A and B are shown apart, each in its own frame.
Chain A
Amino acid sequence: MNEFFILMKQELVITLIIFILLFIKLSSKQWSNEKVLVLINVLLLLNLAAGFLFPDTGDLFGDMYRTNPLMAFEKNILNLGTLLISLQSYNWLKTHKHVPEFYMLLLSTLLGMFFMISSRHMLMFYLALELSTIPLAAMANFDLEKRRSSEAAFKMIISSAFASGLLLFGISLLYGATGALSFSALGETLRQYSPLHILGFIFVLSGFGFKISAVPFHLWTADVYEGAPVAVTSYLSVISKGAILFVFVTVLSTVFSVYGSSWYFMLYFLSVLTMIIGNLFAIRQQNMKRFLAFSSIAQVGFILIGITGQSLEGNVSVVYFVLVYIFSNLAAFGVISLISAVTGKETIDDYKGLYKTNPLLTWVLALALFSLAGIPPTAGFFGKFFLLLAGAGQGNYILIAIAALNMVISLYYYLRVVKAMFMDPNDHPIETIQADWKPKLALAICVIGLLITGLASGAYQYIYSLFVLN
């Protein structure tokens, strides 16, 4: 019983917070938005701190659930990202009518992601995946009166339902071929190549492809990112994608490790397509959210290179990149969400001349974009460097060359935004933004994280040691 509480502590804390919110919503006393927001931010901070206590290794529920220090660390990364998003969206939520509901949905999806990271059984994995996507579709619809918001939500629920249909069909074929559903048993029985195994694997891979928005399956991403409220967009592009990537790495390296040589070529193909198409579409975007959506598709291409490395270093570099990506993307989305909440402006043309009126925000956004492009002093450079290094371990230098070319292309469109902000004249620039201290604190944490994880080598080594321990 004691073991149960210690091993599942992160999930239990989240569940507790959801219940507290439920009672706040149901209580007869009317809570003001400020009060709820302060309370929930304090609770999220406590949740983040509690995640670092008592790291332990163990299995629960007959091998369905497993936790170890690495998984606890991955969950802590997600906790940190959620706290940052919650602080950043303060200005937007302050005037919203449904604050407790928003956080209930947000934390349900986080709970789903935690279970997904810890799952060791296909049934557990499927349930956790659905818990983490169905409430997200409801969250995408949170600007209830906006047409775009509901359109985005519909696109999201249909494509995620279809994706989980594909995934399930693949799982059912694998079940038929092997009679096993737990990851370890599947990994042991999937020894030889049979057509049914490969077909099942392709279906599972396409299901994952939808969720991480790799290119042939990316069509929903840009629309959902553009239509959803900014807080939800940043949550989707950072937290949700990060969690799926963690699980993707686990599934590939435990269940399908035997098929390494065949999924190497599938991922090779996917990552080349993802990088090229993501970058080329990002060039022509005018809306900042849509622009970041395509840039995040392109980033997934780079992450897939790290996974094709099929080595310990490859898996470490994926987790490290997600950590760096959380800081850089949340810094960018933090600035965008502040400007969008105060002025409602979201296109790149509106950002012209931003430096004249908001120098500090401009620097933060520029730094975030440099990190996304991978320019040396920021953490993004090291993230990409480790991914490519892991990919190069396979000896396929064509892939690395294509990736390097794509980094040059991506530099063009990131610098386009920077140029618009610093150099282009504008008769009606965005007025000076008066922000609360909470979004500012979140931006400061992101900037510090960007520089610290880039300059201190400790982070990468720490993740490496966790993987070795695993």
Chain B
Amino acid sequence: MSGIPIYQILIVSTALFFIGMYGLFTRRNMITMLMSVELILNSVNINFVVFNKYLYPGQLDGLFFTIFIIAIAAAEAAVGIAIIINLYRNHQSIDVEDASEMKY
């Protein structure tokens, strides 16, 4: 635990954030796009926990924030999947390239 310096964990979380961003912009499957958003939120969670544990051990704010983010992410995924199901009924596909009726 004490052997791992903080910057290594921060590198992991930052990498996770940008992997999520990359996935969001390049993936064509809607479910995978939702998963990429979850990656972004999880990198934020790691950030909060690490900062709280290493830099401000006397507080609990960061940990609380993490719990709320997990709950909200679940709600977001639920609504997102409901919308994708409805979109599948209308378009017969969950590829974002097929949902392109409105452009410019």
Contacts and interface: CB of A to CB of B under 8 A. Distances in A.
Contacts of B33: 158
B99 to A, nearest CB: 4
A221 B104 CA distance: 11
Interface stretch (A48-56, A174-182, A336-344, A435-443): A174-182
Mostly helix, strand, loop or mixed at chain A's interface?
A: helix
A328 interface: no
Given A134-B79, A138-B79, A176 B47 contact: yes
B99 A127 contact: no
B79 A176 contact: no
Given A123-B65, A148-B102, A181-B61, A157 B76 contact: yes
Interface string A107-148: 000000000000000110011001000110110010011111
B43 A169 contact: yes
B83 interface: yes
Contact of A127 (B43, B72, B96): B72
Interface string A166-191: 10110111011001010000000000
B90 A154 contact: no
A376 interface: no
A152 interface: yes
Nearest to B50: A176
A122 B68 CA distance: 12
Contact of A137 (B48, B50, B83, B101): B83
Nearest to B37: A161
Contacts of A171: 44, 65
A154 B41 contact: no
Nearest to A157: B80
A221 to B, nearest CB: 11
A226 interface: yes
A154 B47 contact: no
Contacts of B56: 179
A227 interface: yes
A40 to B, nearest CB: 23
A150 B37 contact: no
A290 B51 CA distance: 44
A223 interface: yes
A146 B89 CA distance: 10
Contacts of A126: 65, 68-69, 72
B90 A123 contact: no
Nearest to A146: B90
Interface residues on A, range: 35 or more
A58 interface: no
Interface in A23-45: none
B75 A130 contact: yes
A165 interface: yes
Contact of A158 (B48, B69, B80, B104): B80
A134 B69 CA distance: 14
A317 B34 CA distance: 39
Contacts of B40: 162, 165-166, 169
A212 interface: no
B19 interface: no
A151 interface: yes
B21 to A, nearest CB: 8
Interface in A215-230: 222-223, 226-227
Nearest to B72: A130
Contacts of B82: 138
Contacts of A130: 72, 75-76
Interface of B: 17, 20-21, 24, 30, 33-34, 37, 40-41, 43-44, 47-48, 50-51, 55-56, 59, 61-62, 64-65, 68-69, 72, 75-76, 79-80, 82-84, 86-87, 90-91, 96, 99-104
Given A145-B90, A151-B101, 19 more contacts: A123-B61, A123-B68, A137-B79, A137-B80, A138-B79, A144-B86, A151-B87, A154-B83, A157-B79, A158-B33, A158-B80, A165-B17, A165-B44, A168-B44, A175-B47, A175-B62, A176-B50, A179-B59, A226-B102
8 contacts: A147-B90, A151-B87, A161-B80, A162-B24, A165-B44, A172-B47, A175-B48, A176-B50
Interface of A: 122-123, 126-127, 130, 134-135, 137-138, 141, 144-148, 150-154, 157-158, 161-162, 165-166, 168-169, 171-173, 175-176, 179, 181, 222-223, 226-227, 281, 290
For the complex of A and B, the 3 pairs showing the least CB-CB separation, nearest first, are A165-B40, A172-B47, A176-B51
